[in-house]
Structure 1
Amino acid sequence: MQPVNVYTYISRELISIAIEAVFSSQKGYEFAGVYEGRSKRLGNINNVVDHVVTDIVVTDIGLEESNVESPLLVMKRQWLGLRCLYLLPSQSDDSLILRALRSGADGFIYESASKSVLLQAMKTIASGHSFLQPDITPIVLTELRKSRYPIQESDVSVDLTERERMLLQLSADGLSNQQISDVLHVHEKTVRNMWSMLFQKLGVGDRTQAVLWAIRTGNAELR
């Protein structure tokens, strides 16, 4: 399987250098340079190999101006198959986070996130899914809850165990897998396995979608 090419498009040089340092030596990744704008490349339609996206840009640019088109959307039009991980400032207000969600990015983490969170985000995005750092989840769910999502017949037919409901509620509270494992007194690997089985049961691809489903159907609440 070919490595994931990582590009940076970051306003702060020190953060860009740190990202480069991580992925220059990380197995399965190749630091490919600074994004400078590219026209649609011939053959890029084959960027997905075994459902793995091969081009990801890590960026923190373009959300200060809310009245202009997101540079991320422009990048995606120019570069077929490109995926984007957005680095949010550690002191982001809710409006900036919500603009990030609408920007076209595929994942969101705080710039202060640990290396393990960064790698988890990149792995998730490369596999074709979206990623949302757990700390951001409550803000997102509050906004999504304002929209009226109709409950489908298939939603109410799903039978959850008490442990699955607890898993969804703890995630809605913003807890990470490690924190959930501490609460449930199980190994973190067990929590990950629980998520995998729950994703299959609900027909969703990630924990954000799962928690949104739980909020919509009354299986979890924002507290």
Structure 2
Amino acid sequence: MINVMLVDDQTLVREGIKSLLSLSEEIEVVAEANDGDQVLNVLHHVGHQCVDVILMDISMPIQTGIDAMQGLQAANILIPVIMLTTFDDQQLVLQAIQSGAKGYLLKDVSLETLVEGIKTVHQGNTLIQPAITQRIIQGLKKRPRQDLEQQESPELTEKEKEVLRLMASGYSNKEISSAMFKSEGTVKNQVSAILSKLEVRDRTRAVLKAIELGVI
């Protein structure tokens, strides 16, 4: 059983997600907060060791999800956070990922997608939802190059760039191996090489940095 905390200022949204998750035998909602400023207090009350994953609204009126996540990090509470967002929040999504969020999902996702997303970050992986990623990609490509950090682009092979493009579309290693007709072990090694060349810790940051540098 994966224990989840919900954080959203809209009661109907929070209750809707809670009801949806109650249909899964693998997930249990053990804590709730209606704004980012309550997160630490609620976790202190229930015991942060009892929470495996936090589902948090990225945009809240008193303290945003990004602010709350930074507060968690300052308190050395390293619970993985999935940001819940809308299509209009792409700039905030970028900030959230850069601040340490393990992934992001649209608020209207299906139960299957939500459960799989929670399981993904609980297993230590990052979560990229293609529908949002494509909007982020378009937004980044429209930014003037002078607004980006002046960094030298790493030397990536064409195969590594192809893997990156599939990663940006939300493909898992297994799906990439099928699409490229390579073994899953080979793909895993290529992903590791990409992370090393881009000097990032995970797939999400690899995709975002590659887009910013104009690699893909």
**TM bucket normalised to smaller:** 0.5 to 0.7
Which residue of 180, 185, 194 maps to 2:181?
A: 185
**8 Å Cα contact 1:5/1:32 also seen in 2:** yes
**TM-score, scaled to structure 1:** 0.63
**Residue 76 (structure 1) shift:** 5.6
Change (3 A) 1:142 1:34: same
Q: Which runs of 5+ in 2 are unaligned?
A: 8-13
* Secondary structure, aligned partner of 1:164: helix
**TM-score, scaled to structure 2:** 0.64
Residue 133 of structure 2 is aligned to residue 137 of structure 1: yes
Q: Which runs of 5+ in 1 are unaligned?
A: 24-30, 48-53
**Residue 184 (structure 1) shift:** 0.7
Measured in 2, the distance between the counterparts of 1:116 and 1:69 equals: 27
Q: After TM superposition, where is structure 1 displaced by more than 6 Å over at least 4 residues in a row?
A: none
Question: CA deviation digits over 1:112-154, x for unaligned, max 9?
Answer: 21644431133236xxxx53323422212222332621332xx
Q: How many residues align?
A: 187
Identical-residue share of aligned pairs (%): 21
**Residue 95 (structure 1) shift:** 0.8
User: Which aligned pairs between 1:26-175 and structure 2 lie closer than 5 A?
Assistant: 31=28, 33-36=30-33, 37=38, 38-39=40-41, 41=44, 55-59=52-56, 61=57, 63=59, 68-70=62-64, 73-74=67-68, 77=71, 80=75, 81=77, 82-88=79-85, 92=86, 94-102=87-95, 106=101, 107-110=103-106, 111-112=109-110, 113=113, 115-124=115-124, 131-145=127-141, 146=143, 148-152=147-151, 155-156=152-153, 158-172=154-168, 174-175=169-170
Matched residue type, 1:108: Y
Measured in 2, the distance between the counterparts of 1:15 and 1:194 equals: 37
* Secondary structure, aligned partner of 2:63: coil
